[in-house]
Amino acid sequence: MSLTVLVADDDYGIRVAISNYLELAGYIVATAADGQEALNKLQQEMPHLLIADISMPHLTGHELVQQIRRQPMFRLLPVIFLTERTGVEDRIRGYEVGCDVYLPKPFELQELGVIVRSLLERSQLIESEWRMRMQLVAQEQAATATVMPVSPQVTSPTVMPSEQVTSSTVTGSPLIPVDTATSELRAQENDSLPLAELTRREQDVLIFLVQGFSNSQIGEELHLSPRTIEKYVSRLLQKTETRNRSELLRFAMDHNLVKA
């Protein structure tokens, strides 16, 4: 199956160059000349990866990704930012809104191609592993339903308001709430050195990252500044030996932070 890449840049020459290069590499490529067109194409094309310039009319790259991350089906979409802004503050801003890679202009098409391939390989691997996990859980649930008949004498206990738990979803996959996930993380500390090294706050940040929240959104939830969240994310990447959000998601799945 050919994978689709959406390229959003108001520079016609850059759009054509990237499109030609990626099409020769075997990808299906859709293009957009501004942020609003990219947002519309996103719904039409359902791409597997987005390459976006930051300085675009109608919607900037930052605004585009912020809107994308609000949609559950696109919260984990790999995003590459292209820009002439190379300052530290600009890169931090890009990562805060949810990009995976920040590539300064001018860039080499060969380097961009390697980044695209790497991000897509990881995202497809995660998706494949998730499908396998869901199939296994479905099989286990079917086996349990066959072995354990329902007793008419068993009644469900009343759940008091203080005991009620809410859940979040990302791309259709239910996730453990922060409080519950933190408890399960702690229960596994003896079995995993990386988990044992995570502080409670780092665990909370990890859960929100898994759910597709940007650094700014996590800061709002935890009442911390985006810069502070950026520091927590850096520590998480170091402690879990991962390099980006996709690898953090896989780490969380491997340690049962994601429920099917």
pLDDT per residue as tens digits for the range 70-90:
887 787 889 999 988 777 888
Which domain, by its residues, includes 233? 168-260
Note whether residue 151 is domain-resident: no
The pLDDT, as a whole number, for residue 178 is 47
Domain of residue 224, CATH code: 1.10.10.10
Examine the fold and report which residue of 103, 122, 141 is the final residue of a domain before the chain moves on: 122
The pLDDT, as a whole number, for residue 136 is 72
Residues 117 and 8 in one domain: yes
- The list of the chain residues with pLDDT below 50 reads 151, 154-193, 258-260
pLDDT per residue as tens digits for the range 16-61:
999 999 999 999 999 999 999 999 999 888 899 999 999 999 999 9
Closest residue by Cα to residue 230 from 64, 93, 59:
93
Note whether residue 232 is domain-resident: yes
Determine the Cα–Cα distance for residues 96 and 89; give it in Å rounded to an integer. 10
The pLDDT, as a whole number, for residue 181 is 45
The pLDDT, as a whole number, for residue 78 is 92
Q: How many residues does the chain have?
A: 260
Note whether residue 132 is domain-resident: no
Note whether residue 236 is domain-resident: yes
Note whether residue 161 is domain-resident: no
Determine the Cα–Cα distance for residues 182 and 210; give it in Å rounded to an integer. 13
Closest residue by Cα to residue 83 from 16, 8, 5:
8
Q: Give the number of domains in the chain.
A: 2
Note whether residue 157 is domain-resident: no
* Strand (E) or helix (H) holding 222: helix 215-222
Note whether residue 127 is domain-resident: no
Determine the Cα–Cα distance for residues 38 and 84; give it in Å rounded to an integer. 20
Closest residue by Cα to residue 167 from 178, 155, 153:
178
Note whether residue 162 is domain-resident: no
